[in-house]
Amino acid sequence: MIEGVGHMPKAASQLAMGDFNQVLVLDLIRRANGQVSRIDLGDRSGLAPQTVSNIVGRLLDSGLVTEGAAVPRGRGKPPRPLTVNPAGACAVGVHLDPATVSYTLLDLAGGVAGRLRRRTPPGTKPADIVAQVVETVADLTGSCGADPDRLLGIGLAVPGPIDDSRGVLLTPPQLSQWHDVPLRDDLATAAGVPVLMEKDVNAAAVAEVWAREGCHEDFVLLYLGTGVATGLVLGGEVWRGRSGNSGEIGGVLTTDDSGAPLRFADRVIPGDLICQARELGVDVPEVDPDDPVAVDEAFTRLVLLAADGDPAAGRVLDESVTAAGAVLAQLINLVDVDHVVVGGPLWSRVSDRYLADLASAMRPRLVDRDDVRVLPSVQGDTVTAYGAAALVMNRFLAPRPGSLIGA
């Protein structure tokens, strides 16, 4: 995940010029949620009092931190609590899904300051997406009152496969006109800010680590969108693999009721579920599988019919959960984790079924395990855009820049 560099905004320059100690102090202040003073920072960081005082002074001068009123606490000079200034910096995460482009604005405190969604026009070209992203980022930051000079950068989450080192989107299956697109650098040039690009499922996994701050558990993330993939978090770090393309689970074989082998993707992705539903007589429209927006809209109708009691529509969705349980059980047996997190653009539409039935679908296939939990994503449908923004925050705010991402 190498950075595409545009113009370095004011806040990013201030953070980039800071040394490790400054990043460490800012990270401690951010995590303390207003419950830390200069004295506390010295104890927690191991830095000399004068070093802490100098760093805090710089952070106050740059508007990244604020200092509250003195709080009496026994003898001596009362300490003054320090907290990050949410408006001191921000980052935008952009999730390019073949059906929808989602945007999330994070403030310096890690809070969601704003969100937007835009449909991905059928047949859209890379240059059109770049222009749309630049315009929408400006609209989002402007509507939320964010200072453009405080924008640290843009995190871009895209469908794989990617060339991580060059920031190139290679041959995404649902974007037929996109081949070897240098999207990261094109966007950095157009937007004039640093851009980080990550594969969508890995960005979603980053979101879970960032949102569950302090959590170092191991888990598998099942990503449900126009495509399907899995993310793996081990010891609090996202496992990306050698090339950043880990998690391609769609080609894993499972079986249907007759025992015939089927690709996992054919059992869970919206386009294939719509075809199955039509074969069973469900009243969903015939759609062009190369039109992700039409597929997404038809899938929504399928979900609504199932919720209204259409037995065939319900059967299609239930069988997709069963297939997911069979494949996830194999993965859990391999990597030995204790819970599964599910999220992605489809989550709000299928959450009831997955939360009710996924654990039981996995259980018969697990080896000597009955304690695997299924959890909803903290960010639900917007998990990937949130994770893309968190990557930017992590780049500038984490004492270890790779602390969310494993090799």
How far apart (Å, rounded) are the C-alpha atoms in residues 128 and 148?
22
pLDDT 10s digits, 85-122:
999 999 999 999 999 999 999 999 989 999 999 988 77
Residue tagged 């609090």 (tokens): 236
Determine the residue type at 386: Y
How far apart (Å, rounded) are the C-alpha atoms in residues 297 and 104?
22
Question: Is there a single domain that holds both residue 232 and residue 352?
Answer: yes
The residue among 86, 103, 124 that closes a domain is 86
Nearest to 374 by CA among 337, 348, 399, 333: 337
- Residue 122 lies inside a defined structural domain of this protein: yes
Predicted pLDDT of residue 215: 60
Quick check: 100 and 120 in contact, CB under 8 A? yes
Question: Is there a single domain that holds both residue 81 and residue 93?
Answer: no
Residues of the chain with pLDDT under 50: none
DSSP-assigned states of every residue in 39-64: HHHHHHH---HHHHHHHHHHHHHTTS
Predicted pLDDT of residue 2: 57
- Residue 313 lies inside a defined structural domain of this protein: yes
Number of neighbouring beta carbons within 10 Å of residue 390: 26
Number of neighbouring beta carbons within 10 Å of residue 257: 7
Question: Is there a single domain that holds both residue 139 and residue 166?
Answer: yes
Burial 277-308, CB ≥16 within 10 A → b, else e? bbeeebebeebeeebbbbbbbbbebbbebbee
Return left, alpha or beta for 48; rule: phi > 0 is left, psi -120 to 50 is alpha, else beta: beta
- Residue 2 lies inside a defined structural domain of this protein: no
Our measurement of the distance from residue 400's CA atom to the centroid of its chain's CA atoms, rounded to an integer in Å, reads 19
Predicted pLDDT of residue 173: 83
- Residue 96 lies inside a defined structural domain of this protein: yes
Predicted pLDDT of residue 59: 92
Question: Is there a single domain that holds both residue 329 and residue 388?
Answer: no
Kind plus residue range of the DSSP H or E element containing 118 = strand 112-119
How far apart (Å, rounded) are the C-alpha atoms in residues 6 and 366?
48
Helix (H, G, I), strand (E, B) or coil at 180: coil
Helix (H, G, I), strand (E, B) or coil at 407: coil
Q: 13 vs 24, 39, 89, 194, CA distance in Å?
A: 17, 27, 11, 11
- Residue 93 lies inside a defined structural domain of this protein: yes
- Quote the tokens at residue 76: 């001596």
- Residue 1 lies inside a defined structural domain of this protein: no
Quick check: 221 and 341 in contact, CB under 8 A? yes
Domain count along the chain: 3
Burial 116-129, CB ≥16 within 10 A → b, else e? bbbebeeebebeeb
Question: Is there a single domain that holds both residue 351 and residue 241?
Answer: yes
Helix (H, G, I), strand (E, B) or coil at 253: strand
Quick check: 317 and 299 in contact, CB under 8 A? no
Question: Is there a single domain that holds both residue 243 and residue 355?
Answer: yes
Question: Is there a single domain that holds both residue 187 and residue 224?
Answer: no
Question: Is there a single domain that holds both residue 223 and residue 198?
Answer: no
The residue among 59, 86, 113 that closes a domain is 86
How far apart (Å, rounded) are the C-alpha atoms in residues 129 and 90?
22
Helix (H, G, I), strand (E, B) or coil at 115: strand
Could you tell me the residue range of the domain that residue 254 belongs to? 219-376
The residue among 58, 86, 114 that closes a domain is 86
Question: Is there a single domain that holds both residue 109 and residue 130?
Answer: yes
Cβ partners under 8 Å of residue 19, min gap 6: none
Predicted pLDDT of residue 80: 86
Question: Is there a single domain that holds both residue 111 and residue 165?
Answer: yes
- Residue 43 lies inside a defined structural domain of this protein: yes
Question: Is there a single domain that holds both residue 258 and residue 346?
Answer: yes
Predicted pLDDT of residue 1: 59
Return left, alpha or beta for 369; rule: phi > 0 is left, psi -120 to 50 is alpha, else beta: beta
- Residue 346 lies inside a defined structural domain of this protein: yes
Question: Is there a single domain that holds both residue 226 and residue 346?
Answer: yes
CATH of the domain at 395: 3.30.420.40
* Strand partners for 231: 221
DSSP 36: B
pTM: 0.89
pLDDT 10s digits, 288-333:
988 899 999 999 999 999 999 999 999 999 999 999 999 999 999 9
CATH of the domain at 26: 1.10.10.10
Q: Residue 295: what are its φ and ψ, rounded to 5°?
A: -60, -45
